[in-house]
Amino acid sequence: MNYQTVGPERKHEHTEHHKSHSEVLRDAIIGFADGLTVPFALTAGLSAAGSSHIVIIGGTAELFAGAISMGLGAWLAAKTEAKHYHVEEERERREVREMPEAEEEEIYAIFDKYGVSRGSVVSVVEALKKDEDMWVQFMMDFELQLAKPAVSRAWISALVMGLTYLLGGLIPMIPYFAFQDVNHALFTSIGITFVLLVVFGYIKALLTGSKLKDIAGSIVQTVAVGAIAAGTSYGIVRGITRALDM
């Protein structure tokens, strides 16, 4: 809170600090996190087969298939969210028109949860009754607590999530293009991915408003997820390869 004195009176300037996270940022975090762990785990597992060509072919196929899948999934989720909002909005509009008394009581119930007396809410109810659109919007905001999705939400979400998945998955694959020896490529990929997971965990903690003491936990969590996924994939492929050679 900032204070500023003007003449004999003190003027209070109140500034609130809240973390603002757009849906685009959320999609980018999800896409990059999945892209950084899933293709890395797959390529680490395929490296147990002992061939860089197998890793490159399998990893590239998964990378593009995963990016398309993530993008389409995000698009469908956004479309479903928009459809759900539209259905609920139409239902709320019918209730306002056909059951206005019941809807009025719901407004009183909403304010009652905050300890606001019925008498204090009468003027609000009367004002909302004069404007159907505002009445419906009030019910959407406070009764159903649904935010109206942006028109461009679906394709933006699909594009952001697909591209960030592609970027996150491509970086750990670069060593397999640069080295002939699959083991050199694997350990280089592990080193690069470890650094990226640490940096990503740190940035994610900052963007989500975590305190400094929580950042270390976010980094450990992010690295652990990548390590478990890669180790599991490597062990499975290694076991299958040995079983087939027997």
Q: In this structure, which amino acid lies at residue 165? A: Y
Is 38's pLDDT higher than 80?
A: yes
pLDDT for position 204: 73
pLDDT for position 9: 47
pLDDT for position 186: 86
Question: Is the pTM above the cut of 0.85?
Answer: no
Q: Which residue has the higher pLDDT, 78 or 202?
A: 78
Residue 9, strand partner residues: 6
Q: Which residue has the higher pLDDT, 225 or 80?
A: 80
- According to DSSP, residue 150 is labeled P
Question: Are 211 and 182 in contact, with CB atoms under 8 Å apart?
Answer: no
Residue 5 pLDDT level (bands cut at 50, 70, 90): very low
Q: What is the SS3 assignment for 9?
A: strand
Instruction: Give the orientation angle of helix 212-245 with respect to helix 23-46, to 10 degrees.
Output: 30
- Say which range, 6-15, 21-30, 61-70, 233-242, has the weakest mean pLDDT: 6-15
Token look-up 């991915």 returns 193
Share of the chain above pLDDT 70, in %: 87
Cα-Cα-Cα-Cα dihedral sign, residues 63, 64, 70, 71: positive
Where does the chain have alpha helices with state H? Answer: 23-46, 52-98, 100-112, 118-129, 132-138, 153-170, 174-178, 182-207, 212-245
Question: Are 166 and 63 in contact, with CB atoms under 8 Å apart?
Answer: yes
Mean pLDDT of the chain: 82
Residues 151-169: pLDDT tens digits?
778 899 899 999 999 998 8
Cα-Cα-Cα-Cα dihedral sign, residues 177, 178, 184, 185: negative
Residues 207-220: pLDDT tens digits?
766 666 677 777 78
Question: Are 182 and 51 in contact, with CB atoms under 8 Å apart?
Answer: yes
Is 4's pLDDT higher than 80?
A: no
pLDDT for position 102: 92
Cα-Cα-Cα-Cα dihedral sign, residues 50, 51, 54, 55: positive
Give CA–CA dist 198/26, Å, rounded.
18
pLDDT for position 163: 94
Q: Which residue has the higher pLDDT, 162 or 49?
A: 162
- Say which range, 37-46, 218-227, 237-246, has the weakest mean pLDDT: 237-246
pLDDT for position 213: 67
Residue 7 pLDDT level (bands cut at 50, 70, 90): very low
Q: Backbone phi, then psi, for 3, in 5-degree steps? A: -120, 140
Closest CA to 197 of 174, 166, 220, 230: 220
Give CA–CA dist 26/196, Å, rounded.
18
Q: What's the angle, vertex CA 167, arms to CA 161 and CA 169, rounded to 5? A: 100
